[in-house]
């Protein structure tokens, strides 16, 4: 998870995490102010405000109590007011001559919140309240399977969905969680009205148009770009879907899974059917074959949380990137404290605008957590690389870049690398082990792609009115079936609000970044492997120890958001286009295997 600069500050505050902001920080419009002077002033104010907000959110995440919650709710409205006035004030420079850097900074300022507040104080307050209530409803929801019995929170329900193989039990758990989102529906409808009003005050037709304007191309061109990328990977997804459906049909019977239709969403091992690793045990191509699971080695060698982070740091420093600052080790939260409640969900933080970088995670000695910490340090090194840029430029080239860095590093955790650091005995893997590993990875990355695309496609249509409020749920499931080839396990209607059962919808977190990140991580990895002089299949490459690859990576990171992402991408990869062909190259062994398995089957839905 990324904890991201200005956009994160706004989103976190409106989600209910914040600080009692100093009311002396105001926007005092000076009509004689030049655009460059305005941008300089906003950067100063943002540096001061951002440091306070980030520090308070850190306390909120690592000391959960009523006091930090109260500060969060009060800060949300004040920060939204500051940001909306600042962004609106920037409009007086429209069509004026200014430096290219100032023009870019003003554009980024306008786009710095995913939910722009209306200028009217009453409507701004209402938006802040709804934007706090919706994720609050999600976070506090629980399902009570039996009247008078124990109620289950999301993590417990997810465990049922991941582990049960009983379709009836799975359907009950799936329905229990999704039904909890129905009360969000009227609030979400009002949220759309208010956020659209804020976007229109900034010159956009609706909030979705504003979101799509983040990508250094027109909103229409960006929508076309996501379609192009999806078309590149769709054939591989369809082959994976075909094999998974056939396997589930064999396991559950054709009365549960039809051989030519969509897959019931509750059978895929994940509450949202967004990744399918929960049913890997049913899909493992070669059971009992060597794997790269190193849990036993981590535990036998006494890996502590700090040692796991040191291992990740060692990967980055092997490429010539700097050691983490001393404050990182003093201030990070790496294990769950015994004396208080904390948010254990992994996240990377920058407190202020210097080298105060941190990790928040309750680490355990497991393969999964080791990979998460390697990923999170990708965010941390991004922060360190851009810390000398003006605050408005301290972000990824676009929001998919930040997530893709750590994911690309995870791809370098090959068997050869794990052997090199003493966590795996063998230096290579058999064909069977390669197919097993690629199947597991595909159940995450390839399975996720259509889900990653459709979340925002649904919202774009909600925001611009193509999906009317009375069709929220039917349109949701039409997209789920069209892109993912999944259907709800039980009948759903417009009394339900199934989009609200996914956190990012009530929290209003844009989702295209995750779709783009899964595309970019393979493109990044191929470019870094080329820089490292790798000669062989992409899935065998590790850039550990390559100073040349590290130099290329650091150069890309250091540009932040200071220039169009196309320029930054070209510097690393030699092309100005995002390209999903690297995914196809990486998964070629699995694609060939799937083609053999699917011979004679009727694929598609």
Instruction: Round to whole Å and give the CA distance between 565 and 573.
Output: 12
> What are the tokens at 462?
């909600």
Residue 11 annotated as catalytic: no
Tokens standing for residue 89: 């004030």
The alpha carbon of residue 316 and the mean position of all alpha carbons in its chain are separated, in whole angstroms, by 22
Q: Using the Cα atoms of residue 375, residue 376, residue 379 and residue 381 in order, give the sign of their dihedral.
A: negative
**H-helix or E-strand spanning residue 357:** strand 357-360
Structure-token match 């914040």, residue found: 18
Of 214, 202, 209, nearest in space to 87 by CA? 202
Closest CA to 568 of 401, 408, 390, 406: 401
Alpha helices in 253-366 (DSSP H): 280-283, 295-300, 305-318, 326-331
* Residue 375: active-site member: yes
Q: Which of 260, 323, 345, 470 is catalytic?
A: 345
Report the alpha-carbon distance of residue 222 to residue 419 in Å, rounded: 42
Count of CB atoms within 10 A of residue 141's CB?
21
| DSSP H stretches of helix in 91-218 | 100-110, 121-140, 154-163, 167-179, 184-201, 207-212
Residue of 297, 346, 416, 461 marked active site: 346
Strands (E), 202-271: 263-264
Of the residues 403, 429, 441, 457, only one is catalytic, namely: 403
**Would residue 534 show up in a list of annotated catalytic residues for this protein?**
no
Backbone angles phi, psi at 348, to 5 degrees: -105, 145
List 52, 376, 429, 457, catalytic entry: 376
Bridge-based pairing state of the strands 263-264 and 486-487? parallel
Q: One of 214, 241, 243, 379 is an active-site residue; which one?
A: 379
- Between CA 536 and CA 546 the distance in angstroms is 16
Q: Could you tell me whether strands 263-264 and 357-360 are parallel, antiparallel, or unpaired per DSSP bridges? A: unpaired
- The answer to whether residue 514 is catalytic is yes
In angstroms, rounded to a whole number, what is the distance separating the alpha carbons of residues 148 and 238?
44
- Give me the catalytic one of 375, 402, 534, 539: 375
Spot the catalytic one: 107, 252, 419, 504. Answer: 504
Q: Is 539 a catalytic residue?
A: no
Active-site residues, by number, are 345-346, 375-376, 379, 403, 504, 514
């Amino acid at each position: 998870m990324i904890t991201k600069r200005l956009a994160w500050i706004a989103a976190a505050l409106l989600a209910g995490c914040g600080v009692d902001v100093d009311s002396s920080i105001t926007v005092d419009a000076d009509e004689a102010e030049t655009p460059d002077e305005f941008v300089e002033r906003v950067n100063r104010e943002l540096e001061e405000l951002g440091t306070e907000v980030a520090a308070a959110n850190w306390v909120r995440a690592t000391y959960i109590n009523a006091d930090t919650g109260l500060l969060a709710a009060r800060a949300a409205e004040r920060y939204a007011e500051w940001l909306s006035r600042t962004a609106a004030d920037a409009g007086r420079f429209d069509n004026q001559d200014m430096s290219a850097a100032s023009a870019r900074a003003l554009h980024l300022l306008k786009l710095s919140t995913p939910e722009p507040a209306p200028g009217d104080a009453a409507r701004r307050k209402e938006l802040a309240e709804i934007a706090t209530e919706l994720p609050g409803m999600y976070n506090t929801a629980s399902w009570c399977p039996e009247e008078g019995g124990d109620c289950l929170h999301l993590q417990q329900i997810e465990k049922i969905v991941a582990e049960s193989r009983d379709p009836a039990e799975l359907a009950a758990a799936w329905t229990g969680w999704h039904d909890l989102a129905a009360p969000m529906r009227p609030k979400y409808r009002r949220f759309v009205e208010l956020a659209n009003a804020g976007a229109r005050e900034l010159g956009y037709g609706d909030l979705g148009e504003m979101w799509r304007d983040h990508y250094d191309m027109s909103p229409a061109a960006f929508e076309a770009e996501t379609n192009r990328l999806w078309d590149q990977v769709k054939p591989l997804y369809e082959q994976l879907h075909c094999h998974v459906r056939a396997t589930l049909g064999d396991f559950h019977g054709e009365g549960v899974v039809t051989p030519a239709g969509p897959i019931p969403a509750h059978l895929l091992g994940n509450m949202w059917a967004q990744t399918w690793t929960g049913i890997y045990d049913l899909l493992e191509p070669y059971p009992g074959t060597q794997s790269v699971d190193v849990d036993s080695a981590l535990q036998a060698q006494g890996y502590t949380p700090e040692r796991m982070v040191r291992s990740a740091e060692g990967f980055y420093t092997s490429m010539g990137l700097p050691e983490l600052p001393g404050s990182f080790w003093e201030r990070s939260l790496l294990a769950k404290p015994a004396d208080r409640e904390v948010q254990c969900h992994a996240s990377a933080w920058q407190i202020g605008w210097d080298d105060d970088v941190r990790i928040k995670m309750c680490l355990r000695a497991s393969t999964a957590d080791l990979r998460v910490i390697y990923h999170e340090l990708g965010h941390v090194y991004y922060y360190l690389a851009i810390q000398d840029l003006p605050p408005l430029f301290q972000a990824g080239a676009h929001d998919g870049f930040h997530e893709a860095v750590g994911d690309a590093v995870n791809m370098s955790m090959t068997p050869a690398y794990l052997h090199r650091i003493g966590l795996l005995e063998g230096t290579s893997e058999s064909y069977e082990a390669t197919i097993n590993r690629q199947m597991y990875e595909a159940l995450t990355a390839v399975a996720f792609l259509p889900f990653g695309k459709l979340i925002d496609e649904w919202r774009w249509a909600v925001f611009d009115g193509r999906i009317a409020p009375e069709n929220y749920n039917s349109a949701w499931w039409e997209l789920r079936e069209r892109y993912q080839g999944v259907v709800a396990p039980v009948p759903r209607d417009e009394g339900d609000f199934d989009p609200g059962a996914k956190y990012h919808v009530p929290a209003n977190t844009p989702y295209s970044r995750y779709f783009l990140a899964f595309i970019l991580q393979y493109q990044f990895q191929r470019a870094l492997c080329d820089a490292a002089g790798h000669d062989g299949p992409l899935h065998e490459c590790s850039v550990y120890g390559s100073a040349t690859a590290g130099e290329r990576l650091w150069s890309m990171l250091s540009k932040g958001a200071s220039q169009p992402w196309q320029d930054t991408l070209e510097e690393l990869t030699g092309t100005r286009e995002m390209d999903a062909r690297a995914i196809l190259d990486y998964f070629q062994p699995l694609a060939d295997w799937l083609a053999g398995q699917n011979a004679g089957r009727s694929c598609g839905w």
